[in-house]
Amino acid sequence: MSEQMRIMRSKELPEELRDRIVARHRSGQGYKKNSAALKVPKSTVASIILKWKTFGTTRTLSRAGCPAKLSYWGRRALVREVKKNPKITVAELQRCSREMGESCRKSTITAALHQSGLYGRVARQKPLLSARHMKARMEFAKKHLKDSKMVRNKILWADETKIELFGLNSKQYVWRKPGTAHHPSNTVPTVKHGGGSIML
């Protein structure tokens, strides 16, 4: 990345340059050609064109409220940490943010993750299965659905459920996007011989 493009990432583009980006877009030039011709990051070109399409202007709009305590790059770094480890706690994220030089409150971190579509939810529990078991269950489910012609929304139902006999295990929270509750990284594996529970 050139030095000029680095500077443009941290500074607001001149209004004249923003107008040129929109003019080129209206003449049929794509984001990539626009970026190369004007030495502006492609993401910036896309952002300016989206703003023009939404508000009909390239001028700087007035910002409501206080400036964000967490920068755009700081928020992206936190999202990367969550994607690497969905079970990471807010306290650990706060420590990561402090190490990056952006000290902020837990509520700020939570709000930033919400803006990225990530929410704290109780992790679903599922039986601990090996790759061989998963493959066998998938083949069984597909065969069952095919034989019985019960292809309804292509939902595969598990054939086991765990019931705790002596209280419940402590809840574990996970950061995830809506609709990803059963993703392997967002679940807590369980075993039959943990004591105090039965499988049905």
Task: Determine the pLDDT at residue 2.
Answer: 46
Task: Determine the pLDDT at residue 92.
Answer: 92
Q: How far is 62 from 58, CA to CA, in rounded Å?
A: 12
Q: Indicate if the pLDDT at residue 127 is higher than 70.
A: yes
What global pTM score does this model have? 0.44
Structure tokens at 38: 């004007």
Alpha helix (H) residue ranges in the chain: 3-10, 15-26, 31-38, 42-55, 72-84, 90-99, 106-115, 131-148
Q: Indicate if the pLDDT at residue 99 is higher than 50.
A: yes
Q: Indicate if the pLDDT at residue 167 is higher than 60.
A: no
CA distances from 99 to 1, 75, 81, 96, 106 (A): 25, 13, 13, 5, 15
Q: Indicate if the pLDDT at residue 5 is higher than 50.
A: no
Task: Determine the pLDDT at residue 4.
Answer: 46
Q: How far is 93 from 165, CA to CA, in rounded Å?
A: 35
Of the listed ranges 54-58, 101-105, 126-130, the least confidently predicted one is 126-130
More confident of the two residues 66 and 119: 119
Q: How far is 114 from 57, CA to CA, in rounded Å?
A: 28
Q: Which residues pair with 124 in a beta bridge?
A: 187
50: number of Cβ within 10 Å:
10
Q: What is the DSSP letter of 191?
A: -
Contact 176, 186 (CB under 8 A): yes
Which residues contact residue 19 at a Cβ distance below 8 angstroms, ignoring those fewer than 6 apart?
Answer: 58
